[in-house]
Structures are given as structure tokens and as C-alpha cells.
Amino acid sequence: MNKDDWSDLAAQWVVSEVPDQTALRSRLRRYRMWSRLSLAGELLGTLAALLLAAWAWPRQPELRPWLIAACVVVVAWQLGYLLIRQRYRLFGIPAGGLVGMIHAEMRRLKSVLAILWFGLAGGLLMVPLAMVTIPVDYHDRLFLGLMIMAAGYVPYVVLRSWQVVRRIRNLRAERDQLAG
């Protein structure tokens, strides 16, 4: 090789995209932080629901069938969320450099979509269960509570799903750009 060939090779190496290690570490920290916060939030929500049921147990004995059913469903749903996390391989540290990090982030975002829609389906399934287990005297409050939840959660699911799908598209473009 002559001197010009080495110069050309050096110029190509400088222009080539090498993942920035600082940025990669930052993305990895963010990924791990959001995964942990999300899991902690889910577990705290489950604990809060169970504690609320325990608090209501002695105060409203007429709601005990509903409290039992709701606790069983809450625990089952949390197990479902954990299975979704396992399905999308969210436990552990992603490997494979920047492209592996992008794939891990895409899996995390897909799990967010699955969890959002799984939660919405679960909420819909709770309605007939509530109608059967809650005394008729409480049905007016049940209906009001359902309307309030639907007015808040359904638009949230739609908006959040739109954001997640946009982010996945951006990550695919970034991955394709890195792949060449």
C-alpha cells in the first residue's frame, strides 16, 4: 500500500459510523431505568389495590364477593404483565452494541403496547364480573366509576399507542441506517 491508500482508508474510517460509547451507555441506563420504574409501578399498583381491598374488607362486608374477585383478577393481571415482560425479554441487559440496544428498546416499546391493550381488555372483562359480584345498590356508583375510568384511560391508551408506534418507526429507521 502506498501513502495515498492509507490516507483513503483513514478518511473512510473517520467517516464511518462508530457508535458513541457515551451515548450507548446513556441509552442503556435510560432503558434500564424505565424498565425498572415500569416494573416497580406495576408492582406498587398491585400492592395498592390489594391494600385498598384489605382496608375495605371490614368496612363494607356486602362488597366482600367483589373484593375477592377483584383481588384474584389484580394478581392474575400482574402475572400476565410479568409474562408479557418475559415474552419481550425485558429482564436483563441487552447485548449487541447500539443495534442490540435499538432492538431492546423496540421490544420494550412493543411490551408497552401489549400491556396497554391487555389492561384495557382486562378493564372490559371486569365490568361483567363487577355487575355479578357488586350488590345492585352500588350499580349507579359502578356506572359512574366506569365512565370516569373510560373517559381517562381509553384516550390515554390511544394517544400512548400512537406515540409508541411513532417511536418504533423512528427506531427502525435508526437501525436501518446503522445497518447500512
What pLDDT is recorded for position 7? 54
* C-beta of residue 80 within 8 angstroms of C-beta of residue 7: no
Q: What angle do CA 156, 75, 139 make, to 5 degrees?
A: 65
pLDDT on residue 16: 46
| Long-range pairs for 127-136: beta carbons < 8 A, 24 or more residues apart | 129/69, 129/70, 129/73, 130/66, 130/70, 133/65, 133/66, 133/69, 134/63, 134/66, 135/62, 135/63
pLDDT given at position 13: 46
For the chain, list residues with pLDDT below 50: 1, 9-10, 12-16
Model pLDDT, residue 49: 93
